[in-house]
Structure 1
Amino acid sequence: MSIRQGLLALLSQQPMYGAQLRSEFEDRTAGTWPLNVGQVYTTLGRLQRDGLVEPEGDADDEGRITYRLTTHGRTAVGEWFASSVSPDHEPRDELTIKVALGVSLPDVDVASVVQTQRADSMRHLQVLTRAKRNAVDKDDLARELVLERSIFATEAQVRWLDHMESRIRRSRRRTTPTAVEETDR
């Protein structure tokens, strides 16, 4: 998720200061991507440098500066919403890296890695499902949609773990000598 585009989208609704942006971002994304307020202000500085936002007057009594979109910033928000996001635009996935390395190292019990991950993913799926029910009860569509995305991703991960476990078993059967072959030696 691009923090840059997210902050611009929020500013398209109304001018805000950094802590407001952080709070709105976390509320609207169901807390899925917590932000550090320093990260928000660093991003605001870059957005200002790039001519996408500008301060709206001087700092208030508490030293907060409210930012608003420039014309260029409004255009950038429109372009962002009009464009697609590449399915390949995913961050590095630690689980994929762990399994890929694990199957290539002799002392790693990859089956155990898969089982541990599956159990944790199933627990996480239960937590997400309860949170989604809560969002439905509160008629919070934004939170519900973010949680559904997480549910679908976790379900896909469990399917991938099942598939991977099967592939690893088949691969090991091909590389493990049978008892007949061993007695012929």
Structure 2
Amino acid sequence: MICPLPSSGIPPDDLLDLIYHYKALLIRQLYLWYRGQEAIVDHLLHRFVLAGRIFRNSERVACNADWLSNGNPAYEMAFWALLDFRDSVEYQLPGNHGITISAFTENGEYDFVSVLPGHEKSTSDVVQAQREALGQRLVIVVQNPDQIPLITIHPVAAYCVVSPDGKTTYYTTAKEAAPCQPPTSAS
């Protein structure tokens, strides 16, 4: 006898909204966002797939099949950093005008900007032109520490280096070699 898994603890619309906001996220990221409730996440994802609301492969879930093959690297990188702030996040949404993700936390607003390799100058130009309109806590997310000196956005609360496996390391300045914890206030 198969018993349906109760979905208490995760409102189905919240999970669906998260997937729709970011178009494609890794299933591991959803597990971390709803940590301790992985079985419920799997159950809801299965139900959404059967209803035709989302698409899923072995590692990624998406609201559009076109996004499934390679996802959205900028959102994926920024979401790893956002997970570090998960316990204090009150509201989050994809950003505009160069901001990848905006998050409102108990410590104030954070803007996460993903800078893909080779896009340091163009992303810097777009974000710096809008810098005064952005929050004071700007976290620049990169794939490699070598990208940090190529970025010309100021001021920045921290740089977050995301490894291919999703591990995050924070630097408060481009010159500082020692990693720091996720910043709770602008420096």
TM-score, normalised to structure 2's length? 0.28
More helix by share: 1
Higher strand share goes to which structure? 2
Answer 1 or 2: higher relative contact order, Cα 8 Å, separation at least 6.
Answer: 1
TM-score between both structures, scaled by the size of structure 1 = 0.28
